[in-house]
């Protein structure tokens, strides 16, 4: 009994039995389980749906795309094992990371060694993809360090001027702390009065103590750039303390459902993805694909994965057949992808810039009169240099 399982397992690890010789092979390592899976798994599912649909439609010029998905639970060591396996065993043309930032370093080191491009999708964009970009690293994720805070502060300034006290909230993970500390500096430059950032440890039973210190410092506006839990629970705790100021937070993939749940016009979500309430053709397409596949996650959380799918398809098309890691990388370094309305504009990459040439932001909030989400500020472009 035991032996049969072991043999079957060994076979499974050695040969991806049905692997077609004429397929584009790409690999993804992401947080499909573990405490942070909620922020990544929906996007990964969206990406899988896109690739499945692409293959059903005949693949790319008759060649299917073989996607190997591995789980890293958001753990660095498992991410490292996965990237070694994708590169050493599966010989993929392109790796995709959809996980916590702690998994970046090992995957980046391995990708550089092997000369295989690495795309960050749904995970935070590392500094290496911004100009001057390093070769091989690309990012399609909506949020981008510093630009987000700049756009947010511009919005706050347009709404309330710069004579305000600004509360700042972050999660105790390096990425979020770094961004909020940067925002503190940017706000000071504008003459705002930023509070010292309130940094919340990830497992927190009650956010009220953190909210208390923000509220008692007399914040007019509060800005939070952190995983969704921290953003929304700090806000809810503030409201329950009787705080009546305005709040703005990054619109993660949960945003659409959450704005409707909160129904609070004082809660602004700034983001780079369009919402499914708009019901563009691409949104209908994602909904239909999710429904047909009996997807686990809600389609309105899959935009990130779909965008990654559009980009990967374009990159593989650009690389031609037979593709190599170099040809895929060459195609990616001069990519121009129409996001079909999922974003405010196209994703354009150049040798220097692997984030996007222009980043577009929108601000949403709940409109109590209409009982619907309204756009407070439409697409605002920021040139990425």
Residues 161-220 that bind other proteins (CB under 8 A): 172, 174-175, 177-178, 198-210, 212-213, 216
Contacting other proteins within 290-329 (CB under 8 A): 293-298, 301
Contacting other proteins within 56-85 (CB under 8 A): 69, 71, 73-77, 80-81, 84-85
CA atoms within 13 A on the CB side of 106: 20
Nearest CB to other proteins, comparing residues 155 and 300? 300
Nearest CB to other proteins, comparing residues 24 and 228? 228
DSSP H or E run through 28: strand 24-30
Would you count residue 288 as binding other proteins (CB under 8 A)?
Answer: no
Contacting other proteins within 344-373 (CB under 8 A): none
Q: Is 24 helix (H, G, I), strand (E, B) or coil?
A: strand
- Residue 203 CB, shortest distance to other proteins, in Å, is 3
- What span, in angstroms and rounded, lies between the C-alpha atoms of 159 and 157? 5
- What span, in angstroms and rounded, lies between the C-alpha atoms of 308 and 36? 20
Contacting other proteins within 102-131 (CB under 8 A): 102, 104-106, 109, 113, 126
Nearest CB to other proteins, comparing residues 103 and 333? 103
Pairing of strands 165-171, 198-200: parallel
Would you count residue 250 as binding other proteins (CB under 8 A)?
Answer: no
Interface pick for other proteins out of 25, 239, 356, 365 (rule CB under 8 A)? 239
Nearest CB to other proteins, comparing residues 34 and 320? 34
Helices 303-319 and 325-332 sit at what angle, rounded to 10 degrees?
Answer: 120
Nearest CB to other proteins, comparing residues 289 and 357? 289
Nearest CB to other proteins, comparing residues 233 and 343? 233
- What span, in angstroms and rounded, lies between the C-alpha atoms of 265 and 269? 10
Rounded to 5 degrees, φ, ψ at 64 are -70, 160
The site string for other proteins over 83-102 (x = CB under 8 A, - otherwise) reads: -xx--xx----------xxx
Nearest CB to other proteins, comparing residues 300 and 339? 300
Nearest CB to other proteins, comparing residues 82 and 333? 82
Environment class of residue 154 by beta-carbon count within 10 Å: exposed (0-12), middle (13-18) or buried (19+)? middle
Output b/e per residue, 46-73; b: 16+ Cβ within 10 A.
bbbbbbbbbbeeebbeebbbbbbbbbbb
Cβ-proximal residues to 2 (8 Å cutoff; 6+ apart), any chain: none
- Residue 85 CB, shortest distance to other proteins, in Å, is 4
CB neighbourhood size of 205 (10 A): 6
Stretch that binds other proteins, among 19-27, 182-190, 235-243, 375-383 (CB under 8 A): 235-243
Interface pick for other proteins out of 24, 25, 27, 45 (rule CB under 8 A)? 45
């Amino acid at each position: 009994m035991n032996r049969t399982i072991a043999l079957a397992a060994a076979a499974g690890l050695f040969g991806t039995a049905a692997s077609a010789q004429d397929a584009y092979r790409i690999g993804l390592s992401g947080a499909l389980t573990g405490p942070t899976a909620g922020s990544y798994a929906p996007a990964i599912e969206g990406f899988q749906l896109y690739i499945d649909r692409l293959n059903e439609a005949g693949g790319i010029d008759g060649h299917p795309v073989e996607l190997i998905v591995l789980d890293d639970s958001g753990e660095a060591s498992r991410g490292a094992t996965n990237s070694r396996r994708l590169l050493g065993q599966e010989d993929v043309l392109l790796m995709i990371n959809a996980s916590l930032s702690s998994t970046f370093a090992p995957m980046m080191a391995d990708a550089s060694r092997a000369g295989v491009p690495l795309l960050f999708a749904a995970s935070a964009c590392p500094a290496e993809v911004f100009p001057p970009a390093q070769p091989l690293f690309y990012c399609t994720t909506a949020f981008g360090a510093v630009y987000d805070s700049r756009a947010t502060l511009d919005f706050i300034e347009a709404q309330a001027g710069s004579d305000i006290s600004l509360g700042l909230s972050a999660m105790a993970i390096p990425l979020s702390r770094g961004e909020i500390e940067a925002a503190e500096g940017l706000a000071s430059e504008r003459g705002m009065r930023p509070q010292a950032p309130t940094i919340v440890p990830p497992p927190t039973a009650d956010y009220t103590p953190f909210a208390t210190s923000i509220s008692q410092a007399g914040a007019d506006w509060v800005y939070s750039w952190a995983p969704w839990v921290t953003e929304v629970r700090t806000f809810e705790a503030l409201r329950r303390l009787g705080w009546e100021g305005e709040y703005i937070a990054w619109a993660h993939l949960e945003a659409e459902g959450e704005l409707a749940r909160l129904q609070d016009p004082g809660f602004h979500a700034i983001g780079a993805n369009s919402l499914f309430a708009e019901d563009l053709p691409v949104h209908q397409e994602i909904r239909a694909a999710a429904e047909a596949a009996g997807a686990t996650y809600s389609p309105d959380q899959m935009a990130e994965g779909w965008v990654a799918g559009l980009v990967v398809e374009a990159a593989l098309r650009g690389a031609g057949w037979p593709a190599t890691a170099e040809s895929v990388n060459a195609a990616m370094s001069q990519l121009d992808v129409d996001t079909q309305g999922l974003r405010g504009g196209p994703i354009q990459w150049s040798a220097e810039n692997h984030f996007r040439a222009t980043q577009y932001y929108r601000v949403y909030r709940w409109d109590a009169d209409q009982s619907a989400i309204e756009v407070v500020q439409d697409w605002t472009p920021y040139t990425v240099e």
